[in-house]
Amino acid sequence: MDWHALQTLIATREALTLEFKGEQRRPLNDRDLVEAVICLANAEGGRLVVGVEDDGTVTGARPRHGAATEPARVQALIRNRTMPGIEVAVEIVRTPGGEVLCVSVPRSAAVVATSDGVCLRRIVGAHGPECVPFYPHQQVGRGAALGAEDFSAELCREAGWRALDPLQFERARQLIAALRGDAALLELDDREMAKALRVVETVDGELIPNMAGLLLFGRQGEIELHLPTHEAAFQVLTADADVRVNEFFRLPLLELAEAMQARFDARTQEREVQVGLIRVPVPDYARSAFREALLNALFHREYRRLGTVYVQWHPDRLEFANPGGFPEGVTPANLLVHEPLPRNARLYAAAKRIGLVEQTGRGVDKVYLGQLRYGRPAPDYSRSDGTGVRLTLRGGTESLDFAAFVFERERQQGPMTVDQMIALNQLFHERRVTTERVATEIQRSLNDARALLERLVEEGLVEARGENRGRVYHLAARVYDAVGQPEAYVRTHGLDPIRQEAAVLQFVEAHRRIKRENVVELCGLKERQATQLLGRLVREGKLVRRGAKRWSYYEAPAA
């Protein structure tokens, strides 16, 4: 880093990942230096800049080793005074205000403390970024969220083989056969199956289940004893928030998934739409979307943390909530494109071999497809945060005609991708979209979004208007015909110049006068285009302008 780069960094001011430590009043001792480093490491990582005051004034760092500061010795100090040791990058930047010590701190996958046992983390408080104590109860689940730990692989040493229920192994066999899981497991007895799924380990000659084994095959009493955090609820609420159904479960996961699915099947209803000679069912909610959303909540929750997995059925939506936020690096904004990161890897691997969860790890795609193919809004993860994942599936706005169109399109040309379905659904709801808008929704680059839209244009499903950055897309006429909205095509595509002129003159005849904003709304034009249209009609003598500037309006010329 040079002086210019340091100036740019200082100009951004202190933040969660940037801390200034001035030494104008007193030198920064080794203990304070190490504590500042672990504070950053236990948060998002970042840079510690010594020799810059809180207001950004460069006052210089004092020499730490006689007449100078040796970066290698600073690195060694930090490595030896942190547990586990942190490897940092240290450099000296020469400035007009003196030398500045810059320490680049990586985010640690494990909780870091000083060798004296001090544990801090950096947060953004009411008065800006600050270091605060990092208490043990706040550290729960951090390793799992970062992918450094797998709670489901930990042995439950207090439980033996008897803690597992033979009925759950039989249930697993039925699921393997029904869901096309790993057929080789069907040839094994209970103990061999448990070993093959890696849900038990041999300790002193005895099979001891890990947490994954207890969750999948455990007896209910043993689960309640050894995993008191495991709980799920199915609730049905009315429009005024009265609870009609309020059931709580602490069943092993295989049985729990079946119980939840049975309650969903009992409540969901279907409508039908005719496509040629075929009647296509359109359910309140797609069974596949419900199943994947439920399994994601159960298998990716944080089992160290107290809390309940909630499935709530509202009159107009389904809501899912589970304790523990997304794994490190996964957000609602990249959920569709981020590689799978199961929080409970051992548990997920066993369920995958059984066939219970998506083999590719892309269950979220099924959640999206289940919503979008019926013309409903995309799944909404926006309420998720660091404490939990919260998903909303909207219902009640399905389009039978859109569902019929999707069915016929897929029957003729094969399944559509998630990206195609997102783009078509977005066009159906918003009428017109830009490349930027689609890129945001499919969570990909502008080039990817542009290529997707142009392929839909070539296929005849979408039409485009404009060029380059002004290019706008809308559904083609045949799609609007297929979804039973032929008039929407005219409104979306806009009127041709002759029809625009006729519409304006007809409006003036009916209302005596017209303003520019009326033309914008009437013809679907931009303000500049509306001004040009009105100006042309004035020049041709078909309208007369009255008033000036923002108060101007137009009327028919006197006879």
305 burial type by CB count under 10 A (0-12 exposed, 13-18 middle, 19+ buried): middle
Q: Give 12-21 pLDDT, tens digit per residue.
A: 889 999 999 9
Q: What is the pLDDT of residue 407?
A: 87
- Which CATH number among 3.30.565.60, 3.20.20.70, 3.40.50.1860, 3.60.15.10 corresponds to the domain 232-372? 3.30.565.60
pLDDT surpasses 90 at 454 = yes
Q: Give 240-295 pLDDT, tens digit per residue.
A: 889 999 999 999 999 999 999 999 999 998 888 777 777 888 889 999 999 999 99
Q: What is the pLDDT of residue 149?
A: 72
pLDDT bucket at 468, cuts 50 / 70 / 90:
confident
Residue type, 366: K
DSSP state of 161: G
Computed from CA positions of residues 318, 322, 324, 328, in that sequence, does the dihedral angle turn out positive or negative? negative
| Pick from 415-424, 483-492, 539-548: least confident | 483-492
pLDDT surpasses 80 at 29 = yes
% of the chain beyond a pLDDT of 90: 60
Q: What is the pLDDT of residue 489?
A: 66
pLDDT bucket at 397, cuts 50 / 70 / 90:
low
pLDDT bucket at 447, cuts 50 / 70 / 90:
very high
CB 175 within 8 A of CB 169: no
Write out the two tokens for 486.
Answer: 């032929």
Structural domain spans, the chain: 3-139, 151-226, 232-372, 417-493, 497-555
Q: What is the pLDDT of residue 255?
A: 97
Residue of higher predicted confidence among 167 and 506: 167
pLDDT surpasses 70 at 143 = no
Distance CA 512, CA 406 (A): 46
On average, the pLDDT of the chain sits at: 89
In terms of residues, how long is the chain? 559
Find where tokens 């692989």 sit: 153
According to CATH, what is the number of the domain 417-493? Answer: 1.10.10.10
DSSP string, 378-424: PPB-TT-BTTEEEEEEE-S---HHHHHHHHHHHHHH-PPPHHHHHHH
| Pick from 57-71, 345-359, 388-402: least confident | 388-402
Q: What is the pLDDT of residue 484?
A: 72
3-state secondary structure 33-44: HHHHHHHHHCCC
Q: Give 49-75 pLDDT, tens digit per residue.
A: 999 998 999 999 999 998 899 999 999
Distance CA 418, CA 424 (A): 10
Write out the two tokens for 131.
Answer: 């270091």
Write out the two tokens for 424.
Answer: 């078509």
Q: What is the pLDDT of residue 220?
A: 96
Which fold would CATH assign to domain 497-555? Arc Repressor Mutant, subunit A (1.10.10)
Asked whether this chain's domains 417-493 and 497-555 adopt the same fold, the reply is yes
% of the chain beyond a pLDDT of 70: 95
pLDDT surpasses 90 at 41 = yes
Q: What is the pLDDT of residue 142?
A: 63
pLDDT surpasses 90 at 126 = no
Write out the two tokens for 92.
Answer: 């000296």
Q: What is the pLDDT of residue 488?
A: 63
| Pick from 122-131, 247-256, 282-291, 346-355: least confident | 122-131
| Pick from 294-303, 409-418, 484-493, 528-537: least confident | 484-493
Q: Give 290-343 pLDDT, tens digit per residue.
A: 999 999 999 999 998 889 999 999 999 999 999 998 887 788 999 999 888 888
DSSP string, 229-248: T--EEEEEE-TT--EEEEEE
Calculate mean pLDDT across residues 231-244.
93
Computed from CA positions of residues 367, 373, 377, 378, in that sequence, does the dihedral angle turn out positive or negative? positive
Q: What is the pLDDT of residue 52?
A: 93
CA separation, residue 176 to residues 81, 133, 181 (Å) = 52, 48, 4
DSSP string, 99-120: EEEEEEEPPPSS--EETTS--E
pLDDT surpasses 90 at 529 = no
Q: What is the pLDDT of residue 498?
A: 74
Domain with residues 3-139, CATH architecture: 2-Layer Sandwich (3.30)
Per-state percent for the chain, helix, strand, coil, to nearest 5:
45, 20, 35
